[in-house]
Amino acid sequence: MTTAEIQPRTRSQPTWYMRGPWISTISVAAFLVVWFVAAGVAQSRLLPGPGEVLDYVIQESLHGDLIFQLGITLWRVVAAFFVAMVVGSVIGLLMGEYPAVNRVLDPWLILLLNVPALVIIILAYVWFGLNEAAAIGAVALNKIPNVVVTLREGARALDPGLDEMARAYRMSAWSKLRNVTMPQLQPYFATASRTGLSLIWKIVLVVELLGRPNGVGFELHLNFQLFNVTAILGYTLAFVAVMLAIEYLLVQPFERYTTRWRNKPV
Amino acid sequence: MKDTQHAGAISQFKIRIEEKTHTGADGTHLTAIRDLTLDLEPESMTVLMGPSGCGKTTLLRIVAGLDDDFAGEIDMPPHARLGFMFQEPRLLPWRTVRQNIELVAAPGFSEQDLKKLAEAVGIVEMLTRYPQELSLGLARRAALARAFSTEPDLLLLDEPFVSLDERTADRLRRLLLEVWSARPTTAVMVTHNPREALQLADRLVVMAPRPTHVLAVETIDVPQAERDAAMIEALHTDLSKRFPANFAGM
């Protein structure tokens, strides 16, 4: 990799504690210690310690249906994410490219940006019934305006010079999209998906809580009624772990790959 | 509409622009070109010289087919291949130099051709690099290689050596001449540097201020390689007297 050769020359060597995951590890460990101590002092079933929560997660994974519930929620997150990204990107790019489209859709965009997620979810359930399509549609609809705004900026930032180059060299529409347009939009896609995943999984839980018979949100609702804080924390931590895995194993490697031409590390 | 097609092996390019008007964002009209007629000599270097802002770049964009909002016609063979060197290199930053060239290269452009071209412009070592890692001079060389990789029927050069130091610009001019002489191509170059124009041109087109048209066409018969500094100075002095608006004070 050429970028690897460049870095040592342009950046000075950081001190030992800035290298590797030292500081992040200590930060997380400190949090666990505080939690452990607080639970020990409280001695209440409303504040279980980290050990208890971990034990719950393991037991529920092996003998309960935690894995199943995580899977259901994850599938809803993924489905809503793809619907929102595809629909939002197409609308956003059209709005950025054509001022007339922007004029027509802009008031609706502002309206959607400001309608609370809960209102959209309730209306979707009321109008379309308590079903999977209404649930996923409602989540996607909450995310779409966000994607639209980001990708509209992306379309507006496209370099007209490179567009002229592509036309002068008679590049095919496909080649131009792949080699000229998409790489310019990459940071905007990255931003939209980053903020998208975290927003979507939070809204999916609300959708599940209000009208689905399974998923993490349903379990949280159930355990709230039982005041089972161990289960609530267990489910939360398990799903956060899934999202972190997606971030570190999918999103970041993909981003490193698509930005390998930049001289600076991501 | 008249539409004349020319038979023969060598491509013909005829430019007739009755009028080209820019409409500004505030609705004002600005006529950039009026009654401009120019026939390009095949396999020769035509250099357009004019005061800055006279519409030279507009003319190149029209010829390249990037702007079809004008009255008139450009007569050129269908499917003519273009090479275009812009004022900035305009390489794709996310593609290596090699990919930048191969993306637009003519069908059948082989590894051998790429190597030869890269050697000719001195970027063999740079082929695997990304454009951001190149100096402006090197990026211009890569852009020059890309323009020739299409094996163009028409080569368009829009002040391609602007904002380089004089030594680098001079080296690049000689590179351009070398690559161009190895494969003579109908070429149009825009510049406001009179010495550059006199060094490179077979035919020098003197342009009027806006709205621009052709004032005069000067033919320089001496081959580019045989022109020395004294000769260029003599030509320059002569042209400064005849076209003070275009040449004097530069």
> Which residues in B lie closer than 8 A to residue A6 (C-beta atoms)?
133
The type of residue at B79 is H
* Cβ contact B61–A161 (<8 Å): no
Q: What is the pLDDT of residue B4?
A: 41
- B86-107 pLDDT, tens digit each: 999 999 999 999 999 999 999 9
- B150-167 pLDDT, tens digit each: 999 999 999 999 888 888
Mean pLDDT of B192-216: 90
Q: What is the pLDDT of residue A85?
A: 95
What pLDDT band is residue B249 in, cutting at 50, 70 and 90?
Answer: low
Q: What is the pLDDT of residue B248?
A: 62
- B102-152 pLDDT, tens digit each: 999 999 899 999 999 999 899 999 999 999 999 999 999 999 999 999 999
* Cβ contact A179–B103 (<8 Å): yes
> Which residues in A lie closer than 8 A to residue B150 (C-beta atoms)?
169
Q: Is B53 left (phi over 0), alpha (psi -120 to 50) or beta?
A: left
B78 φ/ψ angles, rounded to the nearest 5 degrees: -65, 150
Residue of chain B whose alpha carbon sits nearest to that of A260: B94
> Which residues in B lie closer than 8 A to residue A169 (C-beta atoms)?
82, 84, 103-104, 146, 150
Q: What is the pLDDT of residue B110?
A: 92
Structural domain boundaries in chain A: 52-261
pTM over 0.80: no
Pick the CATH number of A52-261 from 3.30.1370.60, 1.10.3720.10, 3.10.310.10, 2.40.40.20: 1.10.3720.10
Q: How far apart are CA A184 and CA B90, in angstroms?
A: 13
Q: Hey, is the C-beta of B90 within 8 angstroms of any chain A C-beta? A: yes
> Which residues in A lie closer than 8 A to residue B128 (C-beta atoms)?
2
Q: What is the pLDDT of residue A6?
A: 44
Q: What is the pLDDT of residue B10?
A: 57
Q: How far apart are CA A211 and CA A199, in angstroms?
A: 19
> Which residues in A lie closer than 8 A to residue B94 (C-beta atoms)?
183, 186, 261
Where are any strands of DSSP class E within chain A?
A: none
Mean pLDDT of B28-39: 90
CA–CA min distance A260, chain B (Å)? 8
Test the A interface: residue of B81, B92, B148 with most A CBs within 10 Å:
B92
Q: What is the pLDDT of residue B163?
A: 84
Burial track B12-25 (b if 16+ CB lie within 10 A, e otherwise): bbebebeebeeeee
Q: Find the CB nearest A183 among B94, B132, B150.
A: B94
Q: What DSSP character marks residue B212? A: B
A237, B109, B198, B199, B231 from B222: Cα distances, Å = 81, 33, 11, 10, 10
Question: Tens place of pLDDT for every residue, chain A, 266 residues?
Answer: 444 444 444 456 677 777 778 888 899 899 999 999 999 999 888 899 999 999 999 999 999 899 999 999 999 999 999 999 999 999 999 999 999 999 999 999 999 999 999 999 999 999 999 999 999 999 999 999 999 999 999 999 999 999 999 999 999 999 999 999 999 999 999 889 888 888 898 999 999 999 899 999 999 999 999 999 999 999 999 998 998 898 888 888 888 888 888 764 43
CA–CA min distance A81, chain B (Å)? 27
Q: What is the pLDDT of residue B1?
A: 39
SS3 call for A43: coil
What pLDDT band is residue B5 in, cutting at 50, 70 and 90?
Answer: very low
Give the count of beta carbons closer than 10 Å to the beta carbon of residue B106.
13
What pLDDT band is residue B3 in, cutting at 50, 70 and 90?
Answer: very low
Q: What is the Cα gyration radius of chain A?
A: 23
